[in-house]
A and B are shown apart, each in its own frame.
Chain A
Amino acid sequence: GAGVSQSPSNKVTEKGKDVELRCDPISGHTALYWYRQRLGQGLEFLIYFQGNSAPDKSGLPSDRFSAERTGESVSTLTIQRTQQEDSAVYLCASSSPLDTTYNEQFFGPGTRLTVL
């Protein structure tokens, strides 16, 4: 079946521009996560959605970052007025909390963002 997909796979933008990253989770997965991973570093939690609501936004680095999810499906992560320090791979993952065994996360391939 289809896995988690993300678009675009690569994005190069100029400092100060806004970017929008998209994530399509696995169908039926109610939990959706966004992470940031800088080169050679671990995963930095940004935000997660349970359905369409975001119980935990504590990882968003600044008010330039926002995310939304509609229809318990697609999510978009928006970064306004991008800065060079925003350059990273942005990973999306989904999981099904209804799974009675464990809540394995399935990751998308990521969006590599480069801010010039």
Chain B
Amino acid sequence: GQNIDQPTEMTATEGAIVQINCTYQTSGFNGLFWYQQHAGEAPTFLSYNVLDGLEEKGRFSSFLSRSKGYSYLLLKELQMKDSASYLCAALRRRTYKYIFGTGTRLKVLA
């Protein structure tokens, strides 16, 4: 089967660090993506992990453990503009089909 699970909502304070978790079950896994989506806008790409480990991009980092079917997105030094939905998506091998989670709505409070 195929399934992506992530928390529905999270709240954090400006300047803090937040970790958004994602677990997945999919046959033929070929990488894990994170997208950011502001209300009323299209999703935009944040990160991609295909090997185990941590990928860092400025304030955002993404981690993957293939053996555990687990990923997280880490946001540091939170800013108000980081309030958005964060979508986790798995890419299936030998196809180009993406399986999306329902997204985590992050609220950053002053």
Contacts and interface: CB of A to CB of B under 8 A. Distances in A.
Interface residues of A, number: 23
A103 B101 CA distance: 18
Pick from B44, B87, B98 the residue with the most CB of A within 10 Å.
B98
- If over half of B's interface residues share one DSSP class (helix, strand or loop), that class is named, otherwise mixed; here it is strand
A42 B22 CA distance: 14
A75 interface: no
B96 A50 contact: yes
B42 A91 contact: yes
Task: Please list the 4 inter-chain residue pairs (A to B) with the smallest Cβ-Cβ separation, ordered nearest first.
Answer: A42-B102, A107-B42, A43-B100, A42-B103
5 contacts: A31-B96, A35-B100, A97-B96, A104-B33, A107-B43
Interface of B: 31, 33, 35, 41-45, 48, 50, 87, 89, 91, 95-103
